[in-house]
Amino acid sequence: MPGLGAAAVDRRGVPVPDGLEGLRLDAAIARMFGLSRTAAAAVVDAGGATLDGTVRGRSDRVRGGSWLEVELPAARRPLTVEATPVAGLEIVHDDDDIVVVSKPPGVAAHPAPGYTGPTVVGALAAAGYRVSTSGAAERQGIVHRLDAGTSGVMVVAKSEHAYTVLKRAFREREVEKVYRALVQGHPDPLRGTVDAPIDRHPRRDGVFAVVAGGKPSVTHYDTEEAFRAASLLWVRLETGRTHQIRVHMAALRHPCVGDPLYGADPTLARHLGLSRQWLHAARLEFEHPADGRRVSFTSPDPADLAAALDILRAES
């Protein structure tokens, strides 16, 4: 197999999950092996991927059950899922196709390089849930994510059909995602839309920013309650970029309270007893993958966020 050189690669062969049927080869490799889309494309361009023994291009489509062999950079080590119970993770809904959870803060959706904390995937494994096998091994069943520091409602696919349907629904912006966010100051106007492209920050690792030529990103917000130093917003995402609400609120000069990564004043967070950003995924609405009926799931404000609001209300 041509490609990256015998001493520099980790060769692996696996069948393509049925849930990835029709996906581009580079996108399928990215999902199955936990690579970025750019890294996956580089593997394909180097001749490091075959389907059923034939070298393919990045835009070729995969078929479920095809045998995929890849040459990955040797430094890339597979992430593993630790089946570990997570205190505070609640099951909101469970059926044959999906499980909906309310995620506590301090929990990531799935394992990631450099992260050693608890995950939703690990918690579900510890509880005996079987989820879709589509996607990379460490993120099976995951069709969308919340930041580790963000609490709230998430849906995980249990069946391969649900994985395919929900991934498409999120991609086509057919899922309604509503958050509550406490931001510094008072947005003007009180209700508005931020339509600004987002991409990785050009100079800061792990940080995103409004960047010309970035991915289209649209956030709608509406002020629910105003306090002396902060405002409580309802936020609806039209797109789903990494850190989108945090980036867009910071771009308005109203960062989420408790979010120093994006410029929030740590003094206010300490005063409110917050150890993370005040951001909560409150509602998720979508068509159920089994029968197409519209379903909606909610998660109330967790105790730390509710306590912060109590302090602000008492001072107003």
Superfamily of domain 173-316: Pseudouridine synthase (3.30.2350.10)
Task: Tell how far CA 276 is from the center of its chain.
Answer: 17
Domain ranges within the chain, ordered by starting residue = 6-73, 81-165, 173-316
Q: What is the mean predicted confidence (pLDDT) over 70-89?
A: 77
- Judge contact between 192 and 206, C-beta under 8 A: no
Q: Which entry of 147, 259, 301, 304 is annotated as an active-site residue?
A: 147
Q: What is the pTM of this model?
A: 0.77
pLDDT at 79 over 60: yes
Active site residue 60: no
Helices (H) and strands (E) in the chain, counts: 7, 15
Give the model's pLDDT for residue 270: 95
Half-sphere CA count of 37, side-chain side, radius 13 A: 5
**The two domains 6-73 and 173-316 share their CATH topology (first three levels equal):** no
Q: Does 3.50.30.30 match the CATH number of domain 6-73?
A: no
Distances (CA, A) of 9 to 36, 48, 60, 138, 167: 17, 9, 22, 20, 30
What is the pLDDT confidence band of residue 5, given thresholds at 50, 70 and 90?
very low
What pLDDT, in 10s, does the model give residues 101-146?
Answer: 999 999 999 887 767 789 999 999 999 999 998 877 778 899 999 9
Q: CB-based burial of residue 181 (10 Å sphere; 0-12 exposed, 13-18 middle, 19+ buried)?
A: buried
- Judge contact between 138 and 111, C-beta under 8 A: yes
Describe the crossing of helices 25-33 and 37-45 by its angle, rounded to 10 degrees: 120
Superfamily of domain 81-165: Pseudouridine synthase (3.30.2350.10)
Spatial strand order in the sheet of 49-51: 9-15, 67-73, 49-51, 54-55
Give the model's pLDDT for residue 6: 41
